[in-house]
């Protein structure tokens, strides 16, 4: 896509981040949409529009058009995950939430397992457009499933959307994401645009907070945040979101630009993450009877271990190194999904499940978009800084040029030789940028561990003893 659309690395990242931002902005409306129109109608409409938007992404002929339809795709797809999760939780008693969530999670993970492998093959054999075209049949099958199996549920007669809270939160999220995406390109605070975005994001977020705690019927119910476990679960969900998609965004650029791997191989390597996640869900299916805090510690530890493995990559990184690190990261993800759900909703009233699920996915999506933007900015900034350091040593007077075994085919006596040396310095500097981003990823995973110790699980009452005759 980067070559076909003539985009730089930070510009092509907008295809991912804008989709996630649109999803994050629209996710909190799930509760209102469900109460106003009914879960069946919401699912049918969203699946239909999501499929159409995906098809149009494949037909896009410019970066602007593609980003527009990716935003539309995010807006239409936002209610799908929280509403599906709320239906699952409401359909089973709390004692079976672990098993039900495990099965639900296995369905969720099939996408990351299958899509990178098939998408990489289709991109290499045909074009990147087939990454979107291949989703259309799945969307049509989902539409048929919703039509046949999903009931309408309970629907409120009259309910109004709190437009003040919704618009304030939406503008705050959008401005914050824009300043992260465009900050490095525009030299951060030296740009008037970035300063305006910071001010507008802060103002709208302040309006949202004040309005939430003073309005009669705010956009997000503040009673949700009176639940200790829910607040801790949201904090852990935010960290989970920070870690979730960052490797999938960084690794393709590293492997293609620095190692020259074809799209098919990159798809297989990313598929290793899906395989690890699937294994994690299978293990959790049988191990969900144990304390979820154990799995949370294991999951975030594996995420940190994966980040540490990636931070040890060098310019000659092999496919096995990438596959192992991706598998470990996926295994950690598989360990986290079910325990996060159990911890977050353990003590929450079932009446608040739709709103709670919306915030759950809101923070997960915001975390993903923010961490991707920060990581890409860190890669680009580190690359520029380290390129300056590396080129300081590339002078005709350096002693290394006088040693044939060290200089090899490199030389500074011609314009072509200098171009080759400059290109290699750029590659090495960019690799350092990726390594710094992976160190940042590792640190993010470690931050979650102290929060897990603060979680308190509600004890499930034991069944009454049967009286003997």
DSSP string, 334-348: HHHHHHHHHHHHSSS
H or E element, residue 352: none
For helices 97-125 and 263-287, angle between their N-to-C axes, nearest 10 degrees: 170
Domain definitions of the chain by residue range: 9-151+219-384+427-452, 162-218
User: Cα(403)–Cα(292) distance, rounded to whole angstroms?
Assistant: 60
Start-end of H helices in 288-414: 292-311, 319-345, 353-392, 404-407
Assign residue 96 a region (left: φ > 0; alpha: ψ between -120 and 50; beta: otherwise): alpha
**Residue 193 in tokens:** 């645009």
Of 107, 46, 96, the residue nearest 75 (C-alpha): 46
User: Cα(121)–Cα(141) distance, rounded to whole angstroms?
Assistant: 22
Task: Give 59's Cβ-side CA count (13 Å radius).
Answer: 7
Of 110, 111, 128, 106, the residue nearest 119 (C-alpha): 128
Residue 435 backbone dihedrals phi, psi, to 5 degrees:
-60, -45
**Residue 338 in tokens:** 């079910």
pTM: 0.80
In this structure, is the dihedral angle defined by the CA atoms of residues 130, 256, 116 and 337, taken in order, positive or negative?
negative
DSSP 5: T
Could you read off the pLDDT tens digit of each residue along the chain, which spans 469 residues? 777 777 776 677 778 778 877 887 888 787 778 878 888 889 999 999 999 999 999 998 888 899 899 999 989 988 888 788 778 877 787 777 777 777 776 676 666 667 777 877 788 788 888 889 988 998 999 899 888 888 776 555 556 778 898 889 888 988 888 888 788 878 888 889 899 999 999 999 999 999 988 888 887 788 888 888 888 989 998 999 889 888 888 998 899 888 888 877 888 888 888 888 888 888 887 777 788 889 999 999 999 999 999 999 998 899 999 999 999 999 998 898 888 888 888 888 877 776 777 788 778 878 888 888 889 889 989 999 999 888 887 777 777 666 766 666 677 667 777 777 888 889 999 999 999 999 999 999 999 999 888 887 766 544 444 444 4
pLDDT score recorded for residue 110: 64
**Residue 222 in tokens:** 């503040």
CATH of domain 9-151+219-384+427-452: 1.20.1250.20
Q: Which residue has the tokens 């294991």?
A: 298
Q: Quick check: helix, strand or coil at residue 36?
A: helix
From residue 452, how far is each of 115, 225, 306, 457 by CA, in Å?
32, 17, 19, 11
Is the Cβ–Cβ distance between 425 and 387 less than 8 Å?
yes
Is the Cβ–Cβ distance between 164 and 218 less than 8 Å?
no
For helices 228-244 and 292-311, angle between their N-to-C axes, nearest 10 degrees: 30
Q: Quick check: helix, strand or coil at residue 154?
A: coil
Is the Cβ–Cβ distance between 166 and 129 less than 8 Å?
no
User: Cα(261)–Cα(313) distance, rounded to whole angstroms?
Assistant: 15
Q: Which residue has the tokens 């049509």?
A: 140
Of 302, 327, 369, the residue nearest 18 (C-alpha): 369
**Residue 107 in tokens:** 């369905």
Residues 6+ apart with CB under 8 A from 289: 98
Residues 6+ apart with CB under 8 A from 401: 407, 410, 411, 412
User: Cα(190)–Cα(192) distance, rounded to whole angstroms?
Assistant: 7
**Residue 96 in tokens:** 């079976």
Of 327, 175, 188, the residue nearest 251 (C-alpha): 327
Of 104, 109, 112, 54, the residue nearest 84 (C-alpha): 104
Cα radius of gyration rounded to whole Å, the chain? 24
Measure CA of the first residue to CA of the last residue in the chain; give whole Å. Answer: 74
pLDDT score recorded for residue 45: 94
From residue 12, how far is each of 6, 15, 74, 142, 373 by CA, in Å?
9, 6, 16, 29, 11
User: Cα(210)–Cα(206) distance, rounded to whole angstroms?
Assistant: 6
């Amino acid at each position: 896509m980067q070559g076909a659309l003539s985009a730089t690395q930070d510009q092509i990242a907008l295809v991912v981040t804008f989709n996630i931002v649109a999803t994050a902005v629209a996710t909190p409306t799930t509760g209102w949409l469900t109460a106003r129109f009914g879960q069946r109608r919401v699912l049918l409409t969203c699946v239909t529009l999501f499929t159409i938007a995906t098809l149009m992404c494949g037909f896009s002929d410019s970066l602007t058009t593609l980003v527009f339809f990716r935003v539309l795709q995010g807006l239409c797809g936002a209610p799908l995950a929280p509403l599906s999760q709320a239906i699952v939780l409401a359909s089973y008693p709390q004692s079976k939430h672990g098993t039900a969530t495990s099965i639900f999670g296995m369905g969720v993970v099939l996408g990351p397992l299958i899509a990178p492998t098939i998408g990489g093959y289709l991109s290499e054999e045909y074009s990147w457009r087939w990454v979107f075209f291949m989703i259309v049949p799945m969307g049509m099958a989902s539409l048929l499933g919703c039509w046949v199996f999903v009931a309408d549920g309970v629907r409120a007669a009259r309910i109004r959307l709190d437009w003040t809270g919704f618009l304030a939160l939406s503008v705050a999220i959008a401005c914050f994401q824009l300043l992260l995406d465009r900050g490095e390109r525009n030299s951060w605070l030296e740009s008037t645009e970035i300063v305006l975005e910071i001010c507008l994001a802060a103002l709208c977020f302040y309006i949202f907070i004040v309005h939430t705690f003073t309005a009669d019927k705010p956009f997000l119910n503040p009673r949700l945040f009176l639940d200790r476990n829910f607040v801790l679960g949201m904090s852990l969900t935010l960290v989970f979101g920070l870690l979730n998609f960052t490797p999938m965004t960084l690794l393709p650029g590293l492997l293609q630009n620095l190692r020259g791997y074809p799209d098919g191989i990159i798809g297989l390597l990313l598929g290793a993450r899906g395989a690890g996640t699937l294994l994690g869900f299978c293990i959790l299916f049988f191990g969900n009877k144990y304390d979820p805090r154990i799995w949370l510690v294991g999951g975030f530890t594996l995420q940190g271990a994966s980040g540490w493995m990636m931070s040890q990559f060098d310019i000659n990184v092999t496919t096995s190194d990438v596959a192992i690190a991706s598998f470990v990261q996926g295994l950690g993800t598989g360990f986290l999904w079910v325990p996060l759900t159990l911890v977050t909703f353990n003590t929450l009233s079932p009446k608040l499940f739709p709103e709670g699920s919306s915030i759950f996915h809101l923070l997960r999506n915001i975390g993903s978009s923010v961490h991707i933007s920060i990581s890409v900015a860190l890669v680009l900034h580190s690359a520029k800084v380290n390129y300056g350091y590396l080129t300081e040593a590339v002078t005709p007077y350096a002693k290394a040029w006088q040693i044939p075994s060290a200089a090899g085919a490199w030389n500074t006596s011609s314009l072509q030789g200098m171009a080759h040396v400059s290109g290699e310095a750029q590659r090495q500097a960019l690799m350092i940028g990726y390594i710094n981003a992976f160190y940042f990823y590792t640190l993010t995973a470690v931050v979650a561990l102290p929060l897990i110790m603060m979680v308190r699980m509600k004890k499930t009452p034991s069944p009454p003893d049967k009286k003997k005759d």
